[in-house]
Amino acid sequence: MEPSEAWGVRWEMAASPMAKRYMKVATAKQSLVCLAADRHTMAGLFDLIEAVGPHVAALKTHVDLVDDWTPEAWSRFCKVAHEANLLIFEDRKFADIGKISRSQMAGIYDIRSWSDLVTAHLISGPDIVDGLQASWTDVGRSGGVLLLAQMSSRGNLLHPAYTAEVVGKGTAHPGVFGFIGNGSRPKELQELRIAVGEEKMIWTPGVNLAVGDGEMGQRYGDPTEAVLAGSDCIIVGSGIHKASDPRASAKAYADASWNGLLQRNR
């Protein structure tokens, strides 16, 4: 199937080349899954990517939670991710002023040199997006920012008025790839999609085939429902990396998300 057929209006409206790249990969793999690769060792990460690579379209990392991180091992890991045709998304949740966020993209982890996407809060104002974009430009690369418009955790402070401001500023900025929405609440997600319109991506954590409460205030909703409500990518962590058979689990999430997309565009 062609991406234009699978994605319909989103394909036509998406202005960002990174969004088009994601939709192409997702169509080729028939999977709208971003794996939250929250394992704490390099060996665990390599095992995971080898097991699930064919069934996921993007890889979300928390580079600072790996116990035995080294620049060499990480660069090999990124190479394997590229070979597996995965977008690499560092979920750093930047929140500082523009110039510091730009510097934090460098430093020991040098996120700007290997990430295709990063997350940011807009709490410090819109210059954070320019700071992050400048850091990719500094190394001759390009990338996209996902702004946190909603969160999946209970009691979070991203209230509707805040969400509306994030969406208003984010939709107008070409450096913004899209938004993080709350995958655990389809109704909130539908409202977010209406506010965002058709041009930008909405990616959603808080998704699990076992719907309900997770650890430490995490909340989970159904993957297909999230896609039907307007999510373009389900971010799944423990549902895959803690499963007894991560490959089979990744395939189950891929099918749930892909079926959601086909139903949505019917």
Here the tokens at position 57 are 């379209």
| Subset of 206-225 contacting ligand S5P (CB under 6 A) | 206, 214, 218
Query: Could you say which of 126, 144, 221, 237 contacts ligand S5P (CB under 6 A)?
Result: 237
Residue 111 sits in the site that holds ligand S5P (CB under 6 A): no
Q: How many other C-beta atoms are found inside a 10 Å radius of the C-beta of residue 27?
A: 21
Return the number of the residue (107 or 155) whose C-beta is nearest ligand S5P.
Answer: 155
Query: Could you say which of 152, 224, 231, 249 contacts ligand S5P (CB under 6 A)?
Result: 152
Q: What angle do CA 135, 18, 98 make, to 5 degrees?
A: 25
Return the number of the residue (90 or 114) whose C-beta is nearest ligand S5P.
Answer: 90
| Subset of 123-142 contacting ligand S5P (CB under 6 A) | none
Return the number of the residue (114 or 179) whose C-beta is nearest ligand S5P.
Answer: 179
Query: Could you say which of 227, 236, 243, 256 contacts ligand S5P (CB under 6 A)?
Result: 236
Q: What is the DSSP letter of 232?
A: S
Question: What residue number has its CB nearest to ligand S5P?
Answer: 237
Region for residue 59 given its phi and psi (left: phi exceeds 0; alpha: psi -120 to 50; beta: otherwise): beta
| Subset of 17-46 contacting ligand S5P (CB under 6 A) | 36, 38
Question: Does 93 qualify as catalytic in the annotation?
Answer: yes
Residue 180 sits in the site that holds ligand S5P (CB under 6 A): yes
d(CA 266, CA 262): 6
| Subset of 68-107 contacting ligand S5P (CB under 6 A) | 91
Residue 231 sits in the site that holds ligand S5P (CB under 6 A): no
Closest CA to 51 of 259, 240, 257, 235: 240
d(CA 11, CA 198): 9
d(CA 8, CA 192): 19
Return the number of the residue (152 or 257) whose C-beta is nearest ligand S5P.
Answer: 152
d(CA 13, CA 188): 22
Q: How many residues bind ligand S5P (CB under 6 A)?
A: 17
Indicate which residue of 20, 24, 60, 93 is catalytic: 93
Return the number of the residue (178 or 205) whose C-beta is nearest ligand S5P.
Answer: 205
Least distance to ligand S5P, CB of residue 200, Å: 16
* DSSP codes, 136-187: HHHTT---EEEEES--SSTT-S--HHHHHHHHHHHHT-TTEEEEE--TT-HH
Whether 206 contacts 236, CB under 8 Å = no
Which phi and psi angles does 249 have, rounded to 5°?
-65, -45
Least distance to ligand S5P, CB of residue 33, Å: 11
Binding site for ligand S5P (CB under 6 A): 36, 38, 91, 119, 151-153, 180, 205-206, 214, 218, 235-239
Active site positions, annotated = 93
